[in-house]
Structure 1
């Protein structure tokens, strides 16, 4: 089980019938190997020594997708399409619950024991019915509306999914530049270029181009993404890449 390093407490009855506060400390746990780190702390594999654990999260046995992408350099179209379709279905569910993730990137995607993807790190997510203005997330994945500090909605996740698809296929995000100011400029202009290598299909380029649109209202809706020819022809319907 994975456990956060926050301190939680519960109340237990004392011998006199009143309640006394029980506080968790690190001494209550055997701490194992580190699993990852984020903006708000470190995550470790841990075992509670004596009584039940107050907060646990599922252990993703195959680790971060980011490390797998680094190992492979880039993914095949079938693997990329399988991952993108799986994430699209997950985001449809989140958006249906009025949750915007706002930080979709390889570092925040975990691989389960069967090879399935799991969205993690909801530190920048928000539950909302309204448009937002907060600038958050990771620079290479920021949409134009966040860069320009104007209102944004759930379509920021569609943009991030487009950036992710590009990075899956080329090994680098599409608007990467040496200077942050240049990255901002390329994002605002949607300076989208497809390098000659690795060679990817025109259908994949078409899908990416329909997600990376400056006008957020014109980005390809996620349910339409699942019907796109590139997804239909390349993605495993199970959402699990089987190699």
Structure 2
């Protein structure tokens, strides 16, 4: 997250009946124990070091292979279709295990240069390493605010998710640390800015441009879903462009490991799926609904169910017909009709072949997916930046304030953020 746009974010925890817990058979408990041991071994052997970036990529690939192998033995089969029946019992022992990220860095390792974005929880700064001279982004969150807004679980989930993901179109986290008041996350600095900014300048994207960005985002979602991670906050503000114009999905504050279903209402109103609005249990199919809304906004310059009144936006999401501008291509209308579909048994991405159904749709007919993944496709737009110089021209200027980072003392919330 470079900017946490309070302009359209809404977070609300639902008061739902307690989930029934079930005991895992001893066999599965043993597998879970083995999974813990294996992941700990990977964590110990594969610490991230920005000075050896080439080796890190290879290590992350090996770690990812280990994680996927372990998850196959302990996770339940993902729910693919919607049902009005009571949700199945969920065991709280099914958790994704993030690698260790704490203790590798501290504040003295970096020079804080300027603010890139602000939000309700804290700030994101451009920083420069005192060791290798490279530029990074430092996400700083205030512990007291996190606790006050009841976002402890989301914050810990974000660290956990970012510690295990490794993909060309997803931002990378190098490490974490904390002081008595804040938690810090060291991230890649993606200097091209947000797709949100580019879209507002362009009004709307031509069909090929929207398709290019959608293809890269589709592969990022496919990868996350292969790990049973739901992203839950897809929108232009959370998609950055790197120096060459390729996308980087950022801000994993609402991401969650969900092998079956979950219940929390969170995200951005315009992008929330109807099953979330109506407080029903939901699965990863909510990301494909949001994916459809994103494509619509890139093509039209606005979302299909927007209203200045949030409650009316929710009403439209639940009941309003999907209408298209006259200039939409027929294939675009078709894929959007199938993605922005209230019937989960018909929603593209939630059918038998999952993401393959999305990739095989006629709107993507000319896309060569292997080349997209390898970043061999020429980008639609290359940000006008000076590479490798900490160029911040694509980000808004924010008033700088006096910071109190690095304070050590009484820490009443430290026990809530042990993994940082």
Q: Deviation per CA, 1:25-84: give whole Å up to 9, x if none.
A: 4x6642123223455432111124469985431121201111011110100100111111
Task: Say whether the 8 Å CA contact 1:73–1:171 is kept in structure 2.
Answer: yes
SS at match of 1:216: coil
1:1-243 to structure 2, matched below 5 A, reads 10=103, 24-25=106-107, 29-38=110-119, 40-49=121-130, 54-55=175-176, 56-196=186-326, 199-221=327-349, 222-233=355-366, 237-238=371-372, 241-243=379-381
Whole-Å separation in 2 of the counterparts to 1:128 and 1:231? 28
Q: Is the 8 A contact 1:190 1:213 kept in 2?
A: no
Contact 1:163 1:173 in 2 (8 A): yes
In structure 1, runs of 5+ residues without a counterpart are: 3-7, 12-22
* SS of residue in 1 equivalent to 2:297: helix
Partners of 2:129 and 2:118 lie apart in 1 by: 20
Q: Which runs of 5+ in 2 are unaligned?
A: 3-100, 134-173, 177-185, 350-354, 382-420
Question: Aligned partners of 2:212 and 2:201: how far apart in 1?
Answer: 18
For the residues of structure 2 that align with 1:78 and 1:150, how far apart are their CA atoms? Answer: 36
Partner Cα separation in structure 2 for residue 229 and residue 9 of structure 1: 46
Q: Measure, in 2, the Cα distance between the counterparts of 1:155 and 1:54.
A: 30
Contact 1:190 1:214 in 2 (8 A): no
Does structure 2 retain, via aligned residues, the 8 Å contact 1:82–1:231?
Answer: no
Aligned-partner Cα distance in 2 for 1:80–1:181: 29
Taking structure 1 as reference, are residues 177 and 127 closer, same or farther at Cα in structure 2, changes over 3 Å only? same
How far apart in 1 are the matches of 2:120 and 2:342?
28
- Aligned partners of 1:159 and 1:211 also within 8 Å: yes
Tell me if structure 1 keeps the 8 A contact 2:212–2:380.
no
Residue 17 of structure 1 corresponds to none
**1:35/1:63 contact within 8 Å kept:** no
TM-score (norm 1): 0.83
| Preserved CA contact (<8 Å) 1:64 1:109 | yes
* Equivalent position SS for 1:94: helix
Report the Cα distance in structure 2 between the residues aligned to 1:115 and 1:51, rounded to whole angstroms.
25
Contact conserved, 1:79 with 1:235, CA < 8 A, in 2? Answer: no
SS at match of 2:316: helix
The residue matched to 2:116 in structure 1 has which SS? strand
Q: Distance in 2 between matches of 1:190 and 1:91?
A: 26
**What CA RMSD, in Å, does the superposition of the two structures yield over aligned residues?**
2.6
- Secondary structure at the counterpart of residue 191 of structure 2: coil
SS in structure 2 at match of 1:113: coil
Cα distance in 2 for partners of 1:97, 1:51 equals: 33
Find the residue that maps to 1:118 and give its secondary structure.
strand
